[in-house]
Structure 1
Amino acid sequence: MKKAAKMIQNHLFLVIVSMLIITPVIWVFANSVKSSAEILLEPLSLPKQFTFDNYIRAWSEAGFGTGFINSVIVTLISVTLIVVVSAMAAYVLSRKKFRFRVAIQNTFLMGLMLPTFLAMAPLFLLMNDLNLVNTFHGLIMVYIAYSLSFTIFMLIAFFNHIPHSLEEAAIIDGCGPFTLFWKVMFPLAKPGLISAAIFNFVGIWNEYILALILINEEQFKTLPLKLANIMMVQQYHTDWGALYAGLVMSFIPVTIFYLIFQKRLIEGSTAGSVKE
């Protein structure tokens, strides 16, 4: 009896938490298909008449189309390079024993302790001196640098739990270091790599501060910067429909990306249970 009551209590708690999470999302989507007048008159009601003019206006007039494409380019390139570079570094730090290995790991650990805000001023001055302000490759380089520490430590933990016997069998079969990593270890690490890719994708897609510091030309602005532009415009012109439409367009790609790789994310998160 107590077990059944506890189960009901747990399910009720989960339902309440789910409603708290889902309700704001439904509210934003509902307002994104309302007219501006209906949003102001009945902001909490469901739409009486659906209109997609807000999406058209946000995509074209507010520059969301350009921001969306820029975010896709920056995010995909950044995530790909972060995962590949971090996988190589994590493999070496996990499987190879050499001098200064611990010192190198501690160096990456210090990178996790450095708040982003402390590096804002020197970062901008450095990137400006290198003529990397208002460039995609400059922003991508910064995203990679900021994400390496977390991703490397995440993948080190994963590589530590891959059985050494698989690596030894590949070496006996004649695999060299390059083939061993790319043909054996890299595919085995796929669940962990996908988990790292998801975390980095969400973080970079929604990143605002670094993009704000390094990008000020409209043609290079990413989606969060375009969304901030719409919010600033609200001080002078009330176009709440475009704002809500922009919010929907900003979280849909992340949601789709997560739903596609949800199973892999769970596999990567439970990879520590693998034993040799």
Structure 2
Amino acid sequence: MKKKVRPAVIRTGIRIPLILWAIAVLYPIIWMFIGSLKSNAEIYSNPWGLPESFNFQNFIDAWTNYNIDTSVFNSVIVTVMGMFLTLVLALPTAYAIERIKFKGSGILFTVYISAMMIPMVLGWIPLFFLLMDFNLLDNLFGLAVVYAISQLPFTIFVLTSFMGTIPKELEESASMDGLSPYGILLRIITPLSTTAIITVSIMNAIQFWNEYFMALIFLQSRTNYTLGLAIDFISSEAQYTNAWGTLFASLTIAIIPVIILYAIFQKRIAKGMTEGAIKG
């Protein structure tokens, strides 16, 4: 009897903190979504209750009056470009470090891993002047380049770990058939690394979509604002115009794509991280 009770107590002791943590995380999100469906009068009179009726006017106001539509488009452009540039730079680098052993490859890999420990904030001022010299300041492509560079160390780390699990015999056979290293990378390694590529792409996409500080520094005109900057503008306006419902609606618009994306690819992400972790 004691043998059965003890594991049950342990499971309960583990589950209770997890349940409390889940409630602490989900409650603000649910409260925000409910607030987005309320009028300003309801928000002030009954901030914790359910809306009397489902009012989608806040979403319409955010989309039209505060140009959230433009900001969503800008965020999509920057996120897609950042993901693409990161993969273009990281895939050949990871393959060269992991598979084509050359003098200094170990040192290069250590440098990339060490870069993960360096706070990005240290490079913001030099990057500002660098982008200004290349006329890429207040430019979505320039911001996408910065995003891609910022995520290169993490992406290379995951891809090299995953590529290390691919049998080398496949490359040897492809090389005997006349494929060049670039051909092996594109036709053999890349298709077999789909899980890792999806993993880093989704995680980078979430990072780029939610990023705020670099966009604040490198973007200046409102027409180029990403979603984070647009929401910050609405937040400052809400203090004087009482547009709290509009602010909640904007936050809901920003968070729903991330939740959907992570929910769809959750198993892929977990698989990619665990398979890369058991290298060799």
Q: 2:18 is matched with which residue? A: 14
Give the 3 Å change call, closer, same or farther, for CA 161–221 of structure 1 in structure 2.
same
Paired amino acid for 1:245: A
Distance 1:133 1:273, change over 3 A: closer
Structure 2: distance between partners of 1:88 and 1:39: 53
- Mapping of residues 56-95 of structure 1, within 5 Å: 56-95=60-99
Letter in 1 for 2:208: I
Find the aligned partners of 1:273 and 1:124 in 2 and give their Cα distance: 36
1:179 aligns with 2:187: no
| Counterpart-to-counterpart distance in 1, 2:149 and 2:278 | 30
**What does residue 242 of structure 2 align with?**
238
Matches for 1:1-276 after TM superposition, within 5 Å: 1-272=5-276
Contact in 1 for aligned 2:198/2:268 (Cα 8 Å): yes
* Runs of 5+ unmatched residues, structure 2: none
TM-score normalised according to structure 2 size:
0.93
TM-score normalised per structure 1: 0.94
Amino acid at match of 1:161: T
2:195 & 2:18 partners in 1: Cα distance?
Answer: 27
**Corresponding letter in the other structure for 1:80:** F
Which of 95-104 and 51-60 deviates more? Answer: 95-104
Counterpart CA distance in 1 for 2:25 and 2:150 is 29
User: SS in structure 1 opposite 2:161?
Assistant: helix
Give the counterpart letter for 2:43 in structure 1. Answer: I
Cα 1:178–1:126 change in 2 (3 A) is closer
- Alpha-carbon distance in 2 for matches of 1:92, 1:26: 46
Distance in 2, matches of 1:101 and 1:127, equals 29
Q: How many angstroms does 1:274 deviate by? A: 5.9
Residues 86-141 of structure 1, C-alpha deviations (whole Å, 9 max, x = no match)? 11110110011111212322332342233222222222122112211111111111
Shift of 1:155: 1.2
Distance 2:245 2:119 in 1: 35
Q: Shift of residue 275 of structure 1?
A: 6.9
Tell me, yes or no, if the aligned pair for 1:162 and 1:274 is still in contact at 8 Å: no
Please give the alpha-carbon distance, in whole angstroms, between the structure 1 residues aligned to 2:58 and 2:195: 39
Q: Percent identity?
A: 37
CA distance in 2 between partners of 1:80 and 1:254 (Å): 18
The CA distance in 1 between the partners of 2:15 and 2:109, in whole Å, is 42
Please say which of residues 47-56 and 118-127 is displaced more in the overlay: 118-127
Contact 1:162–1:275 (CA under 8 A) maintained in structure 2 = no
